[in-house]
Amino acid sequence: MMGLTLNSVNRVKKDNEIKQAHGYNFDAKDQRFDSLSDVLLLCFFCFIAAVLCSCTGIAGGMVLGPLFLSYNMIPSVMSGTNQYITLIASLSVCAQFLYAGNMLINYALCFGGITVICAYIGI
């Protein structure tokens, strides 16, 4: 994960250099990660949030939402990021239940189908 983070930081740095070379004016509230330490600090805070959420059983968005907003993340992007995190967490729990043989497949398919239909209607 540290290698992927380092790769992402280098890519963001390169994008920022290209923007600066072409005269892009950064807003004072733009989310910028100019150094590896900025990204590692965010990763550390997310790690602490994940531990707290797993120990208490609360949703990650309750902890990560304010953290992302403190990094000047756009609220719609923050919401989408939290939903993605929730999706990954839900899929991992489903995989654990399947692996342990504790999932009732008929109910899972029934509720999954209803959820897909309702999500489609809601969108």
pLDDT in tens, 47-105: 887 787 777 767 677 778 888 887 777 888 888 877 877 777 778 888 888 999 988 88
Mean pLDDT taken over the chain: 80
pLDDT, position 33:
65
Q: Model confidence at 121, in pLDDT bands (50, 70, 90)? A: very high
Q: Tell me the C-alpha to C-alpha distance, in Å, between residue 49 and each of 8, 66, 76, 84, 114.
A: 21, 11, 20, 16, 31
More confident call, 32 vs 62: 62
Can you tell me the mean pLDDT for 37-45?
Answer: 78
pLDDT, position 31:
65
pLDDT, position 32:
64
* Angle ∠(19,23,25) on CA atoms, nearest 5: 80
- This prediction has a pTM of 0.56
Query: Structurally, how many domains does the chain consist of?
Result: 1
